[in-house]
Amino acid sequence: MTPEQLKGTKLTVADYHGQCPEATDGVTDLSKATNQCDTFGILVNKFNASGTGITVERVASADWNDYMAAIDTSFAGHQQADVIEMNGSRVAPYASRGLILPIDAAKYGVDIPELTEAGASAATIDGTQQAIPFDIAAELINVNLDILGDAGVLGPDGSFVPPKSADEFLQLCKTIKEKTGKQPFGLAFVDDMASTWLFMTSVWQQGGDFVNADGSAPTVNTPEAEKALTFLNELIKLGYVDNSADYATSNQDFLNGDVAMVFNGGWEVNNFVTQAKFHYYATDFPNLWGKPSVLADSDVWTVSRNKGDDPVKYRAALEFLKFLTDNNAGWARGTGLIPVTKEVLASDEYRSLPQRANYLKTAESYAHMPPQVADYSALEAAMRAGVTNSTLNGVAPDAALKEAQAQAERDFKR
């Protein structure tokens, strides 16, 4: 296929990065980007100005809570975008129904840069690549070193000393609270997934999982899950975390200097670096249970199957996705998210960015993706219900997990 054949091709792209025209209109310089919204807008501008003759039009940029419902509606009405962004954990049902194109870039003459192991796994289902990864979005521990210094818990060189067990974490929280009066730990409980993600992280660190080996049945109610949920409740009971906090409150309390440590992802690192008035440090979430792991997902790009399987449209879509992958360094710089190409992850340019070198273990091996099963949304909903019932409604962990298991078995489609 020649470049001449691609000229004049129009691609529609659905994404969930939001619109920020004041920062992106007419801008093609990625160095001016500071967050996901303006970074992606500038990337699209840069591609459209690159001279390929392919034009990208963004057709949907909704809040994540409404985004996937809008995508389902577009597929139902045969009005789906040519290129659709999803979390890697949401790809399986679309792949199983043949709604998206398996990615064989070489077949269309497109050379995608070599992906990291985490990036490749996020986009591969049963050995077939179904998407092009954009980043790894992993949870981290974000630390106010000033508070920890006042509590006397830093290392001799003033560094953060990660606890090595759940008991050590509770003891660290106890010391922080007693010595400083500050809230030791923060994460969002209300209208957010953070508490469920910490629960999942704790289960994986114990070697557990939420589906059986072949992914055919949910395993929400396990001894590992009960330990993880009990740990969350212990943090609440001892006053080490505020279970009335939502996402915005959790972040703002940390930035205000009222919280010593917060569980949040790389997508907030640039924000914290810019706004924190204290010595801020982001690093890998501690291994509290024996097996280093932390909840991660990936923003990935899928190519919709089109009527007639038009090879020109597919080639154009893959050219756009190659462009995004070629610019993975700019995306990682502007967002704080972990890059998915080996070259960028290994580069001095990336590792010299603020805080990035502190969570390389997450990038290289700790990041743990959710199970890639056809009905992950139902599984996640059951886990979230169990965590919420216990941490917000006071239901005992064993009872909450028993109910969550029943919900998962009822709703989870094999």
User: Do 384 and 196 touch, CB atoms closer than 8 A?
Assistant: yes
Q: b/e string for 255-272 if b means 16 or more Cβ within 10 A?
A: beeebbbbbbbbbbbbeb
- In the chain, CATH 3.40.190.10 sits at 3-136+298-358, 138-296+375-411
Residue 375's pLDDT is 86
Pairing between β-strand 280-283 and β-strand 55-61 as defined by DSSP bridges:
unpaired
pTM: 0.94
Lowest mean pLDDT among 256-260, 371-375, 399-403: 371-375
DSSP-assigned letter for residue 12: E
User: Do 259 and 183 touch, CB atoms closer than 8 A?
Assistant: yes
Sorting pLDDT into bands at 50, 70 and 90, what band is 182?
very high
Residue 210's pLDDT is 97
Kindly state the percentage of the chain with pLDDT values over 70: 98
Q: b/e string for 284-315 if b means 16 or more Cβ within 10 A?
A: bbbbbbeebbbbbbbbbbbbbbeeeeeeebbb
Q: Taking the CB of residue 152, how many other CB atoms lie within 10 A of it?
A: 10
Instruction: Tell which CATH architecture fits domain 138-296+375-411.
Output: 3-Layer(aba) Sandwich (3.40)
Residue 61's pLDDT is 63
Give the mean model confidence (pLDDT) for residues 125-150. Answer: 97
Give the mean model confidence (pLDDT) for residues 277-298. Answer: 98
Q: Within its chain, how far is the Cα of 401 from the centroid? A: 25
Asked if residue 261 has pLDDT above 70, the reply is yes
Give the mean model confidence (pLDDT) for residues 277-290. Answer: 98
Tens digits of residue pLDDT in 198-226: 999 999 999 999 999 988 999 999 999 99
Asked if residue 320 has pLDDT above 90, the reply is yes
Domain 3-136+298-358 falls under CATH 3.20.130.10: no
Residue 66's pLDDT is 82
Asked if residue 64 has pLDDT above 80, the reply is no
Residue type at 348 in one-letter notation? D
Give the mean model confidence (pLDDT) for residues 381-402. Answer: 98
Sorting pLDDT into bands at 50, 70 and 90, what band is 174?
very high
Q: Taking the CB of residue 385, how many other CB atoms lie within 10 A of it?
A: 17
